[in-house]
Chain A
Amino acid sequence: MKNISKKFLFVALGTLFVVVLAYVGCNQSKSSLSGNEAERVYVAPGNYDEFYLFTSGGFNGQMGVMGLPSGRHFKTISVFSQNPETGYGYSEETKAMLNTTYGFIPWDDAHHPELSMTDGVPDGRFIFINGNNTPRVARIDLKEFETKEIIEIPNSAGNHGSPFVTENTEYIVASTRFSVPIPQSDVPISSYKENFKGTISFIKLDPQTEKMNLEFQIIVPGFDYDLAHAGKGPSHDWAFFTSYNSEQANTLLEINASKNDKDFIAAVNWKKAEQYLKEGKAKTVDAEYYRNYIDDKTHTAVSQLNKQVKVLDPKDCPGMIYYLPTPKSPHGVDVDPTGQYIVAGGKLATVIPVHSFDKMIKAIEGKQFDGEVNGIPILKYDAVVAGEVSNPGLGPLHTEFDGNGYAYTSSFISSEIVKWKLGTWEVVDRIPTYYSIGHLCIPGGDSKKPWGKYVVALNKITKDRYLPTGPELTQSAQLIDITGDKMKLLLDFPTIGEPHYAQAIPAEILMKNSQKIYKIEENGNPYAVKSEKDTRVERKGNEVHVYMSAIRSHFSPDNIEGIKVGDVVYFHVTNLEQDWDIPHGFAMKGMNNAELLIMPGQTLSIKWEPKKVGVFPFYCSDFCSALHQEMQGYIRVSPANSNVQLSYSLGK
């Protein structure tokens, strides 16, 4: 008896213990993870991620380079924003990249990274990103992971629907969010309906030089143009642009632009536009805009001011553009891998409308029109719609594809990703996101051949997901496995700035081309020194040029005298290293400018205007070697009227 009761006591206590443990466990774990999620995202030390992920920096004007599945951050590419960390936008070689017709602008709002494509598949040559605030498009080289070109877009305001590429990167498209008076003029804002217009721009990527050129613009009714995607396969010749505010309101848009039952997707036949361009249907109009590019030889930014642009008017170009009626202020427009379905994210709609490309062509041929706007025929909704996805969540915004017949739509208001089947339009799965997802990204998910392994949720709000950091919290993405029938949350990870959109590409496509150094013998910067023997200091009036070299672990020269208050001193620093991952920094006490971070074989220049008499140190700011702390020098600054001769030395 005694034994039995003891046994019973043990069992009872054990059960209680398990129950308590389970209760505590449930309470402590916010997530409902179970299984091998940790293993799925763990990239062991020294191993590589499977994908590169490029995230837009949003209001920081930059681009993040990260790895999937780990979510590790590798680099921040400076694009539209000055970066004192590297000297981008401060150095003489990069300043001109940020020139606009409004002068130098140190910032922009960067939303949509878009990889260059060949045959509708990301090819790893370039990634483009838009500047939303002062309309621009940047081209980033993926050998160097550096911004190589920025083109300004005239007759545009709020370059949001950009930069989406056609199937072979023939064009990079851009549509204006704000309609504005074109050309700009001093008119009452209330004259919106008569004076304000929108534009859709086609930037050509020259296949030989790989440089951008604003080939033509199409003038369109004064709506807000939101997002875009080019067609592929059968729809290769077309590009699609969402618009809202077909009400043409100029104030309190949240009410006034939400009235119409349907707004439009503009379907543009760019092949036809090219034809009209050839036939001379375009008007050449005055419009100033900059194109800034890094010269291949000198590695120095050049600003080119263009003064005219060719503009096509739909009235003169029948068959070039049609409107597809689309419910309730559509946001994203995404084309499935077959090029057949055009999916709209009607952000206030209760369904996701999917247009059929074939039906669209038939409707055009059969002239199934429902009126027109400024010469643009409106196609009948029923004649073009392929189907509607019911119960897609609240606030559907964007859709990406896995290449296996499924689409994934982000729903902002209900904070979830909804998986549905193309063709049957039935929702098959849904998963919550934390919180308020905007875009989403499947590697190659807007291309002809998605690598449909993961979907990344790009969220707007993080609230309680991370350790709090005062009022401003981290921005965040979430990695979700989509290889099974059920989507499975694997990882939360912070991003830089605001990750509006992101694109991912298999690591092996980029890794093998990633550049290690700049070859010193190919350095064509006019201020470069090819060896220490060429280092010198030259005076031209009150301008002093210091031709300096940096190599482990010294600058040459490192003692400079004869600089005077009132001089304008340019340090041209060449990193003579030809060894991978050995940058040198250049930091000067009291310089009202940034530092320089100079890659092996590169030359960068920075301007210093000494204001005080004394001896001032400079040093290497990147821990380069065992004797990094010895990598330093002095500059003597004498009064403006001093007779101290210009002199320089190293090791004397």
Chain B
Amino acid sequence: MKTKSAVLIAIGALILILTFFFPLWTIDLDAPQYPEGLGLRIWLNEISGLRPNDLQNINGLNHYIGMKVIEPDAIPEMDIMPYIMVFMILFGLLNAYLRNKNLIYIWLILFVILGAIGIYDFYMWAYDYGHNLNPNAPIKVPGMTYMPPILGSKQLLNISAQSYPSVATFIILISILLNVAALYIGREKKNA
């Protein structure tokens, strides 16, 4: 493989460091009483509010409809994800050094599978929060569940929720594309 490919793979690995500093996903909420909005930011290792007290205030509102309290410390995935990311960075750097095509394929497939699992997991949590409601909730609307959207926007009673991937997710996509590009540039020409 060419040096050019190795450089792309190294960059692809190194930019993943940025995923520790940007959120993966954003969920923004709008309601008549919240003209300034409320927001959640989902990171590799935590869930935070957009502003200092947003998480607490979202939990406060959620208790009326019987949703569970969102406690970032109680989500085990958030403890594992940073290690997985560190592993993928080191794996990527190793690939840049070894320039082994098969290992790069493995890296790519592994990352896509991990990403799919991540989104599925996110879906499962969202489903659980939205459907497993406290039967003693003060506000019960027959037939109503409160699963936030994974992608796009959804009206939940007085609240409009918008959910979209954020910077860290795009960094991961760029990292994957860089590896694909490295494979493409580094392909061996049959007639050479």
Greatest chain A CB density within 10 A among B52, B53, B64 is at B53
Determine the distance from Cα of A627 to Cα of B137 in the docked complex, in whole angstroms.
Answer: 12
Q: Contact between B139 and A626 (Cβ–Cβ < 8 Å)?
A: yes
Q: Contact between A552 and B53 (Cβ–Cβ < 8 Å)?
A: no
Please pick, from B36, B53, B138, the residue contacting A578 in the complex, using a CB distance under 8 A: B53
B57 at the interface (CB under 8 A from A): yes
Q: Contact between A627 and B64 (Cβ–Cβ < 8 Å)?
A: yes
User: Which of A206-251 touch B at CB < 8 Å?
Assistant: none
B56 at the interface (CB under 8 A from A): yes
A348 at the interface (CB under 8 A from B): no
Neighbouring A residues of B60 by C-beta, 8 Å: 551-552, 577, 579
User: Which of B10-38 touch A at CB < 8 Å?
Assistant: 36
Q: Contact between A578 and B139 (Cβ–Cβ < 8 Å)?
A: no
Contacts known (A551-B60, A552-B60); A579 close to B138, Cβ less than 8 A: no
Chain A 627-650: CB-based contact to B (< 8 A → 1; otherwise 0): 100100000000000000000000
Determine the distance from Cα of A579 to Cα of B31 in the docked complex, in whole angstroms.
Answer: 14
Contacts known (A626-B139, A627-B138); A578 close to B57, Cβ less than 8 A: yes
Chain B 51-65: CB-based contact to A (< 8 A → 1; otherwise 0): 011001100100010
Determine the distance from Cα of A308 to Cα of B29 in the docked complex, in whole angstroms.
Answer: 59
A517 at the interface (CB under 8 A from B): yes
Q: Contact between A517 and B53 (Cβ–Cβ < 8 Å)?
A: yes
Determine the distance from Cα of A351 to Cα of B60 in the docked complex, in whole angstroms.
Answer: 66
Determine the distance from Cα of A165 to Cα of B64 in the docked complex, in whole angstroms.
Answer: 51
Q: Which residue of B lies closest to A579 (CB)?
A: B57
Q: Which residue of B lies closest to A581 (CB)?
A: B33
Determine the distance from Cα of A33 to Cα of B56 in the docked complex, in whole angstroms.
Answer: 53
Chain A 569-589: CB-based contact to B (< 8 A → 1; otherwise 0): 000000001111000000000
Neighbouring A residues of B139 by C-beta, 8 Å: 626
Q: Contact between B64 and A578 (Cβ–Cβ < 8 Å)?
A: no
Neighbouring B residues of A625 by C-beta, 8 Å: 64
Q: Contact between A579 and B64 (Cβ–Cβ < 8 Å)?
A: no
Determine the distance from Cα of A553 to Cα of B139 in the docked complex, in whole angstroms.
Answer: 12
Q: Which residue of A lies closest to B36 (CB)?
A: A580
Determine the distance from Cα of A627 to Cα of B53 in the docked complex, in whole angstroms.
Answer: 21
Q: Which residue of A lies closest to B56 (CB)?
A: A578
CB distance from A517 to the nearest CB of B (A): 7
Determine the distance from Cα of A627 to Cα of B60 in the docked complex, in whole angstroms.
Answer: 13
Determine the distance from Cα of A347 to Cα of B21 in the docked complex, in whole angstroms.
Answer: 68
Neighbouring B residues of A630 by C-beta, 8 Å: 138
Chain B 74-110: CB-based contact to A (< 8 A → 1; otherwise 0): 0000000000000000000000000000000000000
Neighbouring B residues of A553 by C-beta, 8 Å: 138
User: Which of A501-543 touch B at CB < 8 Å?
Assistant: 517
User: Which of A132-188 touch B at CB < 8 Å?
Assistant: none
Neighbouring B residues of A579 by C-beta, 8 Å: 53, 57, 60
Chain A 541-579: CB-based contact to B (< 8 A → 1; otherwise 0): 000000000011100000000000000000000000111
Neighbouring A residues of B36 by C-beta, 8 Å: 580
Determine the distance from Cα of A627 to Cα of B65 in the docked complex, in whole angstroms.
Answer: 12
Neighbouring B residues of A551 by C-beta, 8 Å: 60
CB distance from A286 to the nearest CB of B (A): 50
Q: Which residue of B lies closest to A651 (CB)?
A: B136
Determine the distance from Cα of A577 to Cα of B53 in the docked complex, in whole angstroms.
Answer: 9
Determine the distance from Cα of A630 to Cα of B139 in the docked complex, in whole angstroms.
Answer: 13
CB distance from A575 to the nearest CB of B (A): 12
Determine the distance from Cα of A551 to Cα of B60 in the docked complex, in whole angstroms.
Answer: 9
CB distance from A602 to the nearest CB of B (A): 14
Determine the distance from Cα of A247 to Cα of B83 in the docked complex, in whole angstroms.
Answer: 88
Q: Which residue of B lies closest to A630 (CB)?
A: B138
Determine the distance from Cα of A517 to Cα of B51 in the docked complex, in whole angstroms.
Answer: 13
Determine the distance from Cα of A579 to Cα of B139 in the docked complex, in whole angstroms.
Answer: 21
Neighbouring A residues of B52 by C-beta, 8 Å: 578
CB distance from A576 to the nearest CB of B (A): 9
Determine the distance from Cα of A344 to Cα of B23 in the docked complex, in whole angstroms.
Answer: 64
Chain A 611-626: CB-based contact to B (< 8 A → 1; otherwise 0): 0000000000000011
CB distance from B124 to the nearest CB of A (A): 29
Chain B 118-153: CB-based contact to A (< 8 A → 1; otherwise 0): 000000000000000000001100000000000000
Neighbouring B residues of A578 by C-beta, 8 Å: 52-53, 56-57
Q: Can you pick out 9 interface pairs between chain A and chain B where the beta carbons lie within 8 Å of each other? A: A552-B60, A553-B138, A577-B60, A579-B53, A580-B36, A626-B64, A626-B138, A626-B139, A630-B138
| B binding-site residues for A, Cβ under 8 Å | 36, 52-53, 56-57, 60, 64, 138-139
| A binding-site residues for B, Cβ under 8 Å | 517, 551-553, 577-580, 625-627, 630
- Ranked 6 nearest A-B pairs via Cβ: A578-B53, A579-B57, A578-B56, A627-B138, A552-B60, A579-B53
Given A552-B60, A625-B64, A626-B64, 13 additional A-B pairs, CB 8 A: A517-B53, A551-B60, A553-B138, A578-B52, A578-B53, A578-B57, A579-B53, A579-B60, A580-B36, A626-B139, A627-B64, A627-B138, A630-B138
